[in-house]
Amino acid sequence: MNNKFSENLKKIRKYNNLSQEQLADELGVSRQAISKWESAIAYPEMDKIITLCEKFDLNIDDFLHKDITEVKGEEESKKNLNKYVYDFLSFITNTINMFSNMSFKSKIKCLFEQMVIGGILLVVCLLIGLLGEELLYIIYDIIPDKLYYILYSIIHFAYIVFAITSSVVIIVHIFKTRYIDYYEKIKKEVIEKQEIEINDELENVNKEEKIDKKNKILFKQNEDKIIIRDPKHSEYKFINGLFKVIIGVIKFFTLCSSLIFFVSLISLFIALVISFLIIKTGVFFVGLLIAILSSAVINIILILFLLNFIFNRKNDKKKMIWTFIISLISLGIGVGLILIGTLNFEYIENDKSILKTENMEIDMKNDLIFDIYPNAEYIESPNKNIKIEYTINKYCEMKQTNMQGNIFHMWPDCNDPFAVAKELIKKINEKQIISINNELQNVKIFTTKENIEILKKNYKNYFDYEKQAQNIINDYEIRIFELQEKINKYAQKEWEYEEEIKSLKNEISDLLSEK
């Protein structure tokens, strides 16, 4: 046994404010024995060493061979670390429990308050940062550029770390003081009140039933929400007022957005009336009817929810949720019936019954150019003038124009949507889906062989001219892009030269100051 035991015994006795006589009484030995142990003249028996270790919560090996001060320091550090971890986890647990017991409005208010505090701290940090940059800029002309940028980077990084850390600490401290501590206080009061009520209720119940019933009642009552903020509790009036303004703005925009649902609801009722025009489609009609009604109910639920939020009225959550779920199921059934109904429909891509074939004649000119889409088919005929035959939708009319006197252009004008809609409804009742093509089709040009050659040559020259003009435009765009690139390069060089001039001026100033 070495001197570590005697040194550790003396340290641990003084650390616990015990005299040699007091320690001797607790161990059942004489004061002289304690003195000899501390002087390393004599050593105790193993049972006394074990008793000392148990009394002072020590490890035997540490007590006999290590410096107890270092051991205690390590244990203290571990305890402190464990305490910090425990406090952090407790803070998270209390925060989660608190938010789970808060009403939606209280949650929004709490989060908004933290955002306002964070915004204020951000503004303060930015102002201090700008002030610091101005102070640093004062010494810019005194020290070399490289040293200045190194110093600036170090101070900038240190300030960011300090600003973030201090802001987080301030926000957490305010949050803990205003909410977590208050939550713990209210929670304790609620639990004490519940205990009193339960004990009063269970006075006449026998012991075993009392324990069982008490646990059940506690479990049931703990489901109730705890009020985190009551009217008597102090609040920041500025934050409270700002919160009301923000809520007012949110409600205003919510009211504006609810107009969309009103328009949607009106559109659904219009669609409901129109849907009776296709009643002959059977399953398709039934599915469409169910889908429209279900969508209208969902729309009404959303409108009620928004209006209740705007006017601070309570929602009948249970009825609204069940109605919403049933409406979604009905909507799914309606869409399913629509899909089943469409299986009996016939798709007709180009229905000849809604097409018509017409023709027109125009005078031949040597500089005439046809600009028609799609490209026309030229057919030889003895007709010296030009006959144009085409197919279009029977609800459309043909329009034509001579641009610049020699360019002939024609296009269909379909300005009778009601007639088209009527045709579509008729076809749907016949379980047919048709594609409505409003473009020109089967354009044919009848004229002599000589005229055809002239028209083709004119079109080729016109197309080549257009192509050449486009190529010129593309060349100019490329040239403009290249010149812009040169301008950017020269601007970069100008900036570099300005920086170099500034650096040389600083060197000249340094040389003059040294002289």
pLDDT at 329: 94
Report how far residue 69's alpha carbon sits from residue 15's, in angstroms, rounded to the nearest whole number: 10
Range 191-197 contact pairs with CB under 8 angstroms and sequence separation of 24 or more: 194/218, 194/221, 194/222
Query: Which residues 6+ apart lie within 8 Å of 436 measured at CB?
Result: 354, 393, 420, 424
Domain ranges, ordered by start, for the chain: 4-78, 103-221, 241-343, 352-459
pTM over 0.75: no
CA-CA distance, 168 to 117, in Å (whole number)? 10
CATH class of 4-78: mainly alpha
Greatest Cα pair distance in the chain: 146
Which helix H or strand E contains 432, and what residues bound it? strand 432-434
What pLDDT, in 10s, does the model give residues 292-324?
A: 999 999 999 999 988 888 887 888 888 889 999
Q: What is the pLDDT of residue 439?
A: 80
Average confidence (pLDDT) per 10 residues, the chain, 515 residues: 70 79 82 81 80 77 69 58 71 81 77 85 87 75 72 83 86 82 77 70 55 42 43 50 70 84 92 90 92 94 88 84 93 93 83 83 84 78 87 83 74 80 85 80 88 86 83 90 90 88 82 70
Q: For residue range 143-167, what is the model confidence (pLDDT) as tens digits?
A: 776 777 777 788 888 888 888 888 8
Degrees to nearest 5, angle at CA 186 with 180 and 187: 85
Alpha-carbon gap, residue 448 to 451, rounded angstroms: 5
| 237-247 tens-digit pLDDT | 555 566 677 67
Residues 6+ apart with CB under 8 A from 43: 1, 5, 37
Please, how many CA atoms are within 13 Å of residue 188, restricted to the half-sphere of its CB? 6
